[in-house]
Amino acid sequence: MEFLRAIAHNIRVQGHATWLCARDPELDWPLRIFALAIAAYALSPIDLIPDFIPVLGMLDDAILLPLAVWLFRKAVPDAIFERNLRVAEAAATRPVSRGGAVAIAIIWLLLALWLAKLLGLIDLG
């Protein structure tokens, strides 16, 4: 069980480091956009494949995110990623913000409702 917690911690920290790289002015724009996409998916409480689906639900967290971070790390200079990884590790020891997770979920829900209305799938009145 401790092994799985270590893996989950590592994915979270690397996702945060990727987010920090997306905001790093030393990184080129195409890499910053790629990092932003990875971090948004990694830090979002909403997955493409919901976690409650057996086996497939964990597939995106277990394979897609590490693969995306691995590809990103290959493209980014080591000094930039390592610097941001140290900041992410330090942040991992801080308390968790449940309010932030709720805010992100609400934003995703509002975006989905807006898109459904735009596509004519629902009528909000």
Nearest to 35 by CA among 91, 64, 76: 76
Confidence at 125, pLDDT banded by 50, 70, 90: low
Alpha-helical regions (H) of 44-97: 56-59, 65-75, 78-91
Q: Are 15 and 38 in contact (CB under 8 A)?
A: yes
Please state, in angstroms and rounded to a whole number, the distance separating the CA atoms of residues 50 and 60: 9
Over residues 103-114, the pLDDT tens digits come to 888 999 999 999
Indicate the domain borders of the chain: 2-94, 97-125
3-state SS class at 122 = coil
What's the predicted TM-score (pTM) here? 0.61
Over residues 26-41, the pLDDT tens digits come to 999 999 999 998 877 7
